[in-house]
Structure 1
């Protein structure tokens, strides 16, 4: 049964619960979205970068032996790998690509349907060319249509043309989903960030506490995966979500990561505090 969405609590209200979880833990699994979480949302996705505070604290926490860090992004694996350095694990294309150590696994059905994604992107480049500032990003296994900078009156046209093109060239093999001023195109399979995070959780010991921090619709499956054994943290407003906690911005994400790097790691390392 799918977990019901409720309004998330400010993260400060959850700290006692998190402390208790960590005192009983043998390890912390820290899974992080990229855009809107580690990096502020920007008009040009090529310009996205982690804040300085995030980069500094990631450098600190990725060196901790009791913490495994993972980046779980909608971006292609190679793209996100270049934008943030240090974590042990990377999942790209919403978990369709998973890099652990020297091994990279790609979902076999997504690999087979990459040619359809290419065909859709080629058609969309032509169809959306007249629309100011519409952008098609081909990520090989998936694609994203960006319309954040498109004039408001033209946005329905972007959605209509995208839906028509995906239906014509992707058939039943591809599907369309929505995000924050984006349209996501990918293989129509039951797989998402939550599945990738589930694999990471299954790899760890029973004493591992999983944390997932993200900001968009595609992060909801990951929130459901870590709750209630661990904690999901939504970045943004207090709209209903499967995450139990909330921070407002990447700046607050940096503060939360600093807490995990100090107080959180201490709790894991020392066990129950009298």
Structure 2
């Protein structure tokens, strides 16, 4: 694995983007949801894509030479309700994949859903009693939301959650971290990058792939598209597998508009 370096601002890579797109026959644009299309909010239930991002996704989805996908940690049914238009949806960090009218679910994740449900119930009765700590069972994965939890008790929630996952998840479930969340899922080598690779496999070899995301869980997807394609990290300039960055969901819209206008015009010139 290559050493990670700070991504450069999107605007500084326009010439490189132009060259890559000009040599391509198709674009694949994969997009995270929370923190990318939608601003991060205190209550995850209130999250929604910005109007500019909704419009940009709809414009891109109407282009025959562009394939659009939303790849989210949210459950598939949840993210489908929050953004219209993309050709493909991947939920639960790629464990659910909907394309061409069919839904594929990772069989190991399906088989461990009952164990996950029992663990989420246990977490609900323990750390779920901490003020503003929310336990979300997404059927194939679970999330412990810490964003609104008082900072003084967050270490307790993290320790207690890890102890319970270790004790009751056994070898079947594992814990990972994100931005003020703890994620519980099947202990298998699978992530957003695997979903992106499955999507890429259906497209022509001359496709340029772009993945836009903001969190630790997006790093595997950045690695999947780089270096032949482009990972775009939303946020600061911390080292990342993505080579490019933008600052916020508002900047994501500008980026998508670039691909929807200039990018589409450049394809196969």
TM bracket (short chain)? over 0.9
TM-score norm. by structure 1 comes to 0.97
Partner of 2:14: 15
Deviation at 1:149, TM superposition (A): 0.6
1:186 equivalent to 2:185? Answer yes
Partner of 1:56: 55
Deviation at 1:128, TM superposition (A): 1.5
Partner of 1:71: 70
C-alpha distance in 2, partners of 1:90/1:201?
Answer: 13
Structure 1, unaligned runs of 5 or more: none
Structure 2, unaligned runs of 5 or more: none
Q: Which runs of 4+ in 1 moved over 2 A?
A: none
* Conserved? CA contact 2:30–2:68, under 8 Å: yes
* Conserved? CA contact 2:128–2:135, under 8 Å: no
C-alpha distance in 2, partners of 1:129/1:107?
Answer: 28
C-alpha distance in 2, partners of 1:144/1:12?
Answer: 35
C-alpha distance in 2, partners of 1:103/1:130?
Answer: 39
TM-score norm. by structure 2 comes to 0.99
In angstroms, what is the RMSD of aligned CA positions? 0.7
Report how many aligned residue pairs link the two structures.
269
Partner of 1:257: 256
C-alpha distance in 2, partners of 1:63/1:3?
Answer: 36
For residues 160-209 of structure 1, the C-alpha deviation after alignment (integer angstroms, 9 at most, x for no partner) is 11111112221110000000000000000000000110111111111000
* Conserved? CA contact 1:31–1:212, under 8 Å: yes
Equivalent positions of 1:74-153 (< 5 A) are 74-153=73-152
SS of corresponding position for 2:49:
coil
C-alpha distance in 2, partners of 1:57/1:203?
Answer: 23
* Conserved? CA contact 1:3–1:224, under 8 Å: no
Deviation at 1:147, TM superposition (A): 0.6
